[in-house]
Amino acid sequence: MPDIENSREVLKNRYIGGESQKIEGWFYPQAVQALVLIDKFQRAAGIEGHIGEIGLYHGKSFILLYLLARDSEKCVGIDVFLDEEFKTSFFANMGRYEVPGSPPRIEKMDSVDLTSQQLLDWVNGFYRLFSIDGGHQMEMALGDLERVAPVLAEGGVIAYDDYFDPQFPGVSEALNRFLLGPAGVGIAPFFIAGGKVFLTTVGAHELLYKAFETAFEVPLEESTKDHEGIYRRDFHGWPVFVLI
């Protein structure tokens, strides 16, 4: 419906344009830029699916994910909401950006009780964007990765938060275990920005990596040269771009 799309676009531009900074939380500009570009690349490539996030806090990243959804897509948020203040704040923030006729689905639950089948059933399909920012203990973060990976559409992307945060070494350990274990065989990292590692299905790695290469205009012959804050690196055996 044009009205929904237009209002979503207006809200998205306002949010990206500065309103996101009014919401408490950590969502760095590089991560915002990465998600907007990934959405653009997926649209151009015809990659379809729904959108989800584990760990909502005050809604700073979830609101953008919700606004990136197309009107045919569903958006799901999962949080245990142990702190009533966070819960109240999240719904107040979300209410200012909710598109008429297209509410998100919010599930109050601990993600350790979540299953991949539930994620599929809630949207009747697979996901093209999924943010993981839930429990920061190794077992919890690893479990979230193992639950989300099977529900990714081909060319879908996981945005995995806090890998580089020294306060939470378990988050780093979880991703390393995942990528080195059987559950991560079909998943590959392709981009790092704003404290997040972005992962996709192995078959779509080249597509997304080259899309960023084009977007940042990094010449192929400069494969080992730092280029205006963009770095080509290897991570778990895969070429990735790093945006500083």
pLDDT of 137 over the 60 cut: yes
**Strand pairing report for 127-132 and 196-201:** unpaired
Q: Stretch 126-147: mean pLDDT, rounded?
A: 97
Count up the domains in the chain and report the number: 1
Strand, coil or helix: 85 = helix
Q: What is the DSSP string of 32-47?
A: HHHHHHHHHHHHHHT-
Helix axes 29-45, 205-215, angle to 10 degrees: 120
Which pLDDT belongs to residue 23?
A: 84
pLDDT band with cut points at 50, 70 and 90 for residue 24: confident
Which pLDDT belongs to residue 167?
A: 95
Q: Stretch 58-62: mean pLDDT, rounded?
A: 90
The whole-angstrom separation of Cα 136 and Cα 168 is: 6
Which pLDDT belongs to residue 218?
A: 67
The whole-angstrom separation of Cα 112 and Cα 144 is: 8
Measure CA of the first residue to CA of the last residue in the chain; give whole Å.
Answer: 38
Which pLDDT belongs to residue 223?
A: 47
* Dihedral sign (CA 40, 183, 54, 188): negative
The whole-angstrom separation of Cα 230 and Cα 244 is: 7
Please give the C-alpha separations between residue 63 and each of 12, 72, 226, in angstroms, as whole numbers: 9, 17, 33
Q: Round the average pLDDT of the chain to a whole number and report it.
A: 91
Which pLDDT belongs to residue 70?
A: 92
Which pLDDT belongs to residue 228?
A: 66
The predicted-structure confidence for 85-109, as pLDDT tens digits, reads as follows: 889 999 999 999 999 888 999 999 9
The token duo for 209 is 């990596």
Name the residue with tokens 């190794």. 138
pLDDT of 151 over the 50 cut: yes
Is residue 55 within 8 A of residue 134, CB to CB? The reply is yes
pLDDT of 50 over the 50 cut: yes
Is residue 197 within 8 A of residue 242, CB to CB? The reply is no
Which pLDDT belongs to residue 169?
A: 97
pLDDT of 220 over the 90 cut: no
User: For the ranges 16-25, 125-134, 202-211, which has the lowest average pLDDT?
Assistant: 16-25
Q: What is the DSSP string of 110-141?
A: -GGG--HHHHHHHHTS-EEEEEE----SHHHH
Taking the whole predicted model, whether its pTM rises above 0.85 is answered as yes
- 239: which strand partners? 234
Q: What is the DSSP string of 175-200?
A: HHHHHHSGGGTTEEEEEEETTEEEEE
Which pLDDT belongs to residue 225?
A: 44
Which pLDDT belongs to residue 227?
A: 52
Range of the domain at 170: 2-20+27-243
The predicted-structure confidence for 163-209, as pLDDT tens digits, reads as follows: 999 999 999 999 999 999 999 999 999 999 999 999 999 999 999 99
The whole-angstrom separation of Cα 38 and Cα 95 is: 25
Here the CATH number for the domain that contains residue 59 is: 3.40.50.150
